[in-house]
Amino acid sequence: MQKVSVIGAGTMGNGIAHVFAQNGFHVNLIDVAAPALEKALATIGKNLDRQVAKETITEADKTATLGRITTYTDMASGVKDAELVVEAATENIDLKLNIFKQLDQHAAPGAILATNTSSISITKIAAVTKRPTQVIGMHFMNPVPVMKLVEIINGYATDKEVTKKIEALSVQLGKVPCVVNDYPGFIANRILMPMINEAIYSLFEGVAGVNEIDTVMKLGMAHPMGPLQLADFIGLDVCLSILHVLHQGFGNPKYAPCPLLVNMVTAGYLGAKSGEGFYKYT
C-alpha cells in the first residue's frame, strides 16, 4: 500500500496524515475548508519541528514528509487513486454516513474504507456502502504521532483479510494494533469514559477538588494526565457524546453522563479548545 487519503484536517486528521507521510506513504489530505488544510500543514510542520529538535528525525526527513502530503478540498479527486481512505471528520453520525456514501462512489472498488470514529458503530457506517466487507475502524489516539495504540474495530461484515492488512499497516506505522469487535465504545472508550464520568461525579458530589482527583490518578495510578485534565484535552462535548452512545447502546444507567458534564457542555465550557473546562487555558 502506498497511497492513502485522509478525510478531515482537524486534530486527528492532521496527526494521521503526519504519521502516514512520515512512514513513506503518499497522503492526500482532504477537507472541505481550505483554511483548515493550511492550518493542518502548519501544525504538522510544527510537530515535525519537535521531532527535529529531539533529533529523532532530520530536517531532510521533515521536508520529505511534508512533500508527501497533497491537499484537496474536493473529495472525488482526493480519493480516486487511494488504496486506503481513513475518515477522520467531525464525530457526527449523519456527516459520517454521508461521507461514506460518497466514498463508496468515488474510491476505487478495491480500496479499504476506514473510519477513525471513537464511538459510532462501524457496522452502521459500513451498511451505507456497497462494500461492507471492506469497511473497518482504525481508531488512533491523540496525539497521534506520540500514542502507540491503533484500536482496530471489525464491523459485523468486515473481511478477515482486510483486518490483517490494517493490522500489518499499523505495525508499519510504528504502532501497536489491537483488534476488537463493534459494540458501543469499542474497548478504549468503554473503559476510559466511565472512569472520566466517575471523576466528574466525584467532583460533583464534593468528594474532592479538581487538583486532588487528578493528582490521585496521576501519582497513584501513574496516568500521564488526571481524568479531568484528560477530559479537557479530549473535549467535554466529545466525552458527553461518547457517554450518550454508551448509555443508549447498552441501556444501562451506569453510563448516564454526570449532570455537571451536561451543564458544562451546555454552557460552552468544552475544555482546552474553548479556553476553559475543569482548568483554564490562556
Q: Per the annotation, where are the binding residues for NAD(+)? A: 8-13, 31, 91, 96, 118, 142, 273
**What phi and psi values does residue 212 have, to the nearest 5 degrees?**
-65, -45
Pick 103 or 243: Cβ nearer ligand CAA? 243
Q: Contact with ligand CAA (CB under 6 A): which of 23, 70, 102, 142?
A: 142
Among residues 118, 154, 170, 202, which one is catalytic? 118
* Catalytic residue, candidates 14, 139, 154, 197: 139
50 binds ligand CAA (CB under 6 A): yes
> Residue 4 interacts with ligand CAA (CB under 6 A)?
no
How many angstroms separate the CA atoms of 122 and 46, rounded?
32
Considering the complex, what minimum distance in angstroms separates the CB of residue 121 from ligand CAA? 14
Nearest residue to ligand CAA by CB is 118
Q: Which is nearer to ligand CAA, 82 or 193 (CB)?
A: 193
Q: Tell me if 189 contacts ligand CAA by CB under 6 A.
A: yes
Give the neighbor-by-neighbor strand order of the sheet with 176-181.
69-72, 26-30, 3-7, 84-87, 112-115, 135-140, 149-154, 176-181
Q: Interface with ligand CAA includes 243 (CB under 6 A)?
A: no
221 binds ligand CAA (CB under 6 A): no
Question: Is 109 a residue that touches ligand CAA (CB under 6 A)?
Answer: no
Query: Environment class of residue 2 by beta-carbon count within 10 Å: exposed (0-12), middle (13-18) or buried (19+)?
Result: exposed
Which positions make up the binding site? 8-13, 31, 91, 96, 118, 142, 273
217: left (phi over 0), alpha (psi -120 to 50) or beta: alpha
d(CA 239, CA 248): 14
Residues 6+ apart with CB under 8 A from 136: 112, 113, 114, 115, 122, 152, 153, 154, 155, 158, 162, 163, 166
Residue among 47 and 123 whose Cβ is closer to ligand CAA: 47
User: Does 47 contact ligand CAA by CB under 6 A?
Assistant: yes
77 is catalytic: no
Q: How far is CA 278 from the centre of its chain?
A: 22
60: its cell numbers: 531532510
Residues in contact with ligand CAA by CB under 6 A are: 47, 50, 54, 118, 141-143, 145-147, 188-189, 224-225, 230, 234
Please list the active-site residues. Answer: 118, 139, 151, 189
